[in-house]
Structure 1
Amino acid sequence: MFPDEMYAVVPDALDGETCERLINGFAKDMDDGGLVQGQSATHIRQSKITWFNEEQEPAVSRRITDLVADVNRNWFDFSLTDFAEDAQIACYVGDQRGHYDWHSDIGSSEVARRRKMTLVIQLSEPDQYEGGLLQLNPAGHFIDAPMERGTAIFFPSFVLHRVAPTTAGLRYSLTQWVHGNPFR
């Protein structure tokens, strides 16, 4: 793990076989990705998404739980209580200039305001797409997340981040939010 200011990186959080299985298992059932509360704005977000839960992917869910516990214990020390939302798999399509502009993951809904930690795992191989960088802006300077397949990046859900426009290929990622009492 390579902690830095406001994020932590875990290489090989998922193996390549698991990443490929998630892509192949969920890519066919994707819908247009929107914003909170069912809103759509393609100038802000252009992606395809689907969701999975612990019953569908028990081994992946256990791995995520273990990763969150370890990273939180060793880095963030947030008061976390649960996973109130299913995990999301997103696809950013190059010929559609898939992207998600600058945003934070804390929202106004009952569930979104309880988001405390965001976890993103890179599912695609970096040579399968161009552009599409996950970028963080935790303190006024951009950080490019690692692109290696299976790498996880953790950050507080209030940190501004984006997926830069994907210019070619398909970029798949897994996102999981971890919840607790709202930040004060």
Structure 2
Amino acid sequence: MVIEIPDLFDSAEVREIRSALGAADWADGRATAGHRAAKVKENEQLPLDHPLAKQLAERVLARLAQTPLFIAAALPARVLQPRFSRYDGRGHYGNHVDNAIFPIPGTGEHLRSDVSSTLFLSDPEEYDGGELVIEDMFGTHTAKLPAGSLIVYPGSSLHRVMPVTRGVRFVSFFWTQSFVASPEKRRLMFELDGAIQSVATDHPEHASIDTLTQVYHNLLRQWSAT
């Protein structure tokens, strides 16, 4: 399941974030890739311990917590600190699958990457190439979204970033451990939640709302891993 969430940040907020990123010191992105992924990765990343990286990551996490569509799609149990990268001069990231398990810095704990997310911080007209291509059980999806928009997709998917041939592509990316690990079950939960919201909007007094809500939460109890 691939979900696009428009306007996670508005244009003024994106300009502020971009201004800060434009003045930052960047590092080789291959330092944070797995052994195989490092062979097909060419970009720059803001070091995780950089003060700006931590400040912007907290800002992204706070916004996600206020975004019902993200919560419905990801059913987040934990979200790993968002990271920031830039692509230019034919920067790219070839076909790869994200690591299944990530350490949570400073905790000794680990997070399972059920859901991957990319927050676009450059508008499509600012760069050529740089499309995010996702291949999952539901087909191939290509995304090059407006700045401030987020795309959410299965962490188990094969995906790539096409070479950037003009301009600079800025993004934030992160992983979520979901209460529901299965992408098929998460899709059913998302569709059921959408149906409940639709019925509640069109027929707020309909008796089926309580029943559907009961089914939703009982499925969540059955399928969740806490």
Q: Once structures 1 and 2 are overlaid, which stretch shifts more, 33-42 or 20-29? A: 33-42
Give the direction of change, closer, same or farther, for the CA distance of 1:167–1:108 in structure 2 (3 Å limit): same
**Residue 28 of structure 2 is aligned to residue 44 of structure 1:** no
**Which residue of 1 is the match for residue 146 of structure 2?**
148
Matching of residues 89-168 of structure 1 within 5 Å: 89-93=84-88, 95=89, 97-107=90-100, 109-110=102-103, 114-139=112-137, 141-168=139-166
**Which residue of 2 is the match for residue 3 of structure 1?**
none
May I ask how many residue pairs the two structures share in their alignment? 171
Aligned 8 A contact 1:35 1:45 in 2: no
The CA deviation string for residues 79-135 of structure 1, in whole angstroms up to 9 with x for no partner, is x3212x321111011x2x100111122335545761111121110011111000011
Give the direction of change, closer, same or farther, for the CA distance of 1:182–1:101 in structure 2 (3 Å limit): farther
Give the direction of change, closer, same or farther, for the CA distance of 1:106–1:140 in structure 2 (3 Å limit): same
Distance 1:61 1:135 in 2: 24
Structure with the greater relative contact order (CA < 8 A, sep ≥ 6): 1 or 2? Answer: 1
Q: Once structures 1 and 2 are overlaid, which stretch shifts more, 104-113 or 129-138? A: 104-113
Gaps of 5+ in 2: 105-109, 183-226
Write 1 or 2 for the structure with the bigger share of helix.
2
Q: Tell me the SS of whatever aligns to 1:25.
A: helix
Give 1:182 deviation, angstroms: 9.3
Aligned 8 A contact 2:57 2:83 in 1: no
**Residue 29 of structure 2 is aligned to residue 24 of structure 1:** no
Q: Quick check: which has more Rg, 1 or 2?
A: 2
Q: CA RMSD in A?
A: 2.8
Distance 1:116 1:37 in 2: 17
Give the direction of change, closer, same or farther, for the CA distance of 1:36–1:30 in structure 2 (3 Å limit): closer
Distance 2:33 2:142 in 1: 28
Q: 1:12 aligns with which of 7, 10, 28?
A: 7
Give the TM-score normalised by the residue count of structure 1.
0.78
Distance 1:103 1:42 in 2: 9
Give the direction of change, closer, same or farther, for the CA distance of 1:66–1:103 in structure 2 (3 Å limit): farther
The CA deviation string for residues 33-88 of structure 1, in whole angstroms up to 9 with x for no partner, is 016567597650000111423x5564432112233x53342x45x4x3212x3211
Gaps of 5+ in 1: 1-5
Give the TM-score normalised by the residue count of structure 2.
0.65
Aligned 8 A contact 1:36 1:107 in 2: no
Distance 1:179 1:42 in 2: 23
Aligned AA (1:62): A
Give 1:177 deviation, angstroms: 1.4
